[in-house]
Amino acid sequence: MSDMPQLDLVTVEIANRVATLTLNNAAKRNALSRALLDALIAGLKGLDLRDVRAVILRAAPGLSVWSAGHDIKELPRGHEDPLGYSDPLERALRAIRELPVPVIAMVHGTVWGGAFDLVLSCDMIVADETASFAITPVNLGLPYNTTGLLHFIGRLPMNLIKEMFFTATPLKAEAAERWHVVNHLVPSAELESFTRALAEGMTTKAPMAVAVIKEQLRVLADYQPIAAQVFERIQDMRRQVYESADFQEGINAFLEKRKAVFQGI
């Protein structure tokens, strides 16, 4: 096994043409901070040039939280879009989706907020019985961005999307399998071996064909024509939310570790 240089918050190991990227900030429950996401993007860069033909994205072994989601302390507090195009999470999602090799999310533990978008941006998901998935912007009064919603629309049934977004209730492992959120649900003891076998199986296939098919699927899935006036209306609605008192209350309540009291203003 050969190791790439250690990245502070993400480790990268390569063996048998499979790269394993491990989120490695247990102290912060792998919160998606700018530093961690920059490390993730750096770890993904150039993998195809190292003859890597599949990637596994995982959390460090033994963690009960795969990722706590977006680092709330880093969200803009003023009248600014909290999930703009240049947001570190958005850049990481694009890096995964545009990588010309398959990316498998290996999930042990709970996945929260923007980390669910991160997992869904991978090409496949393998999880064990400890896994659960929650998308939680309504707990913060945060208007999720249109790009992110399109990611969910491309992967999940509309009624499930609405329930998960409106309630912020975690989707447990068995339900995630039933709704086809995950490709495979396997016992915890078999998670690593199953995921590695899946990844190594793909390394024997024609890499150019895999890369082109992945890009074809990305382009076709992303093709969502929206009239300019519709997009502007959506952006205006989002602006009203991130400029609201409720958004400030949601962030303050989270940081103060209390229940938010939303007034709808």
- Tens digits of residue pLDDT in 151-184: 999 899 999 999 999 999 999 999 999 999 999 9
Helix (H, G, I), strand (E, B) or coil at 18: strand
Beta bridge partners of 2: 14
In the predicted model, is pLDDT for residue 4 greater than 60? Answer: no
The one-letter code for the residue type at 260 is: A
Domains and CATH numbers, the chain: 2-202 (3.90.226.10)
Among the listed residues 69, 70, 148, 242, the single catalytic one is 70
Among the listed residues 144, 148, 151, 250, the single catalytic one is 144
Q: Is 223 a catalytic site residue?
A: no
Among the listed residues 69, 109, 113, 114, the single catalytic one is 114
Higher pLDDT, 78 or 144: 144
Helices (H), 99-155: 114-120, 146-153
Helix (H, G, I), strand (E, B) or coil at 183: coil
pLDDT at residue 116, as a whole number: 98
Please indicate, yes or no, whether the overall pTM of this predicted structure exceeds 0.95: no
Burial class (CB in 10 A: 0-12, 13-18, 19+), 263: exposed
